[in-house]
Amino acid sequence: MRLYLASTSPARRALLAQSGIEPVLVAPGVDEDAAAAAERDRLGRELTGPELVSLLAVAKATAVADGLVERTDDAELDGIVLGGDSAFEVDGVLYGKPHDPELARQRWRQMLAAGGGTLWSGHCVVDRRVGAHSVAEATVPGPGGAVRAGDEPPVRPVGASSRPVGASSLGPVAPGGSALVVDGDRVVAVDSAVLTFADDMTPAEIDAYVATGEPLEVAGAFTIDGRAAAFITRIDGAPSAVVGLSLPVLRSMLLQGFGIAWHDLWAQESTPAL
């Protein structure tokens, strides 16, 4: 089964490849700042972490699934489209990509002063298998089998709303928690991980790390799978969510939304980017 990744992120592609899945890469062409600004204007307030990452994940997946971006071939989509987005929250403030070295240094000083923060990871999966239909309801049990009375499933399923599926359907998500919603041919989910930073990181280490350029184009100005790994002492949540894509949540989305087993995506032949 083919998985189209609505992203050109090397980290997300590597995560999937390490799990035995070789995605087809399609650049979604979404203006993230404009999409977030439009939603802030609509709501009349700032977006929460789960709202922001789910909004952008939906926008990216929809752009590819609904043919809103140019591709290099005219072949019909036949598979699953995945969009994702991440943001790091520190003391109620959302940090995206800093781009500028001085801003990256400033953010590191703020993150270290707070001791850590929450990484929000948004996901949207759209079913574009030719002739396929959604087979699951939004209220099916969480991953790992039936849920005992009084237990909260690892990924909290919630009912779909009358609005287009997205953050408004998910409702509040606590730091360290996750939730998903199924609505017809698409599933939206948010996962989170709480990170703790080393309490003895020095200004010289901050300067050296920023000088590598690694933190400039990643949410929160750090990567757990890169040079910043030594500065992170604890992760409460899925490590893959910190990299940019929660593999346990993606597995639950496929299973609960479409009845697709994780191993159905394994051992695909390599497919060039479109």
Active-site positions?
85
Residues in the chain: 274
d(CA 89, CA 69): 30
Structure-block tokens of residue 26: 């399609």
Inter-CA distances, 11 with 8, 19, 63, 223, 232, Å? 9, 13, 21, 9, 18
What is the DSSP annotation of 192-215?
EEEEEE-TT--HHHHHHHHHTSGG
By the 10 Å C-beta count (0-12 exposed, 13-18 middle, 19+ buried), 143 is classed as middle
Cβ–Cβ under 8 Å, residues 239 and 18: no
Tokens describing residue 183? 């609505």
Nearest to 224 by CA among 236, 105, 28: 236
In eight-state DSSP terms, residue 126 is E
Q: How far apart are CA 62 and CA 32, in angstroms?
A: 13
Q: Outline where DSSP puts E strands in 13-164.
A: 24-25, 79-90, 93-95, 116-128, 156-158
Question: What six digits make up the tokens of 166?
Answer: 């997205």
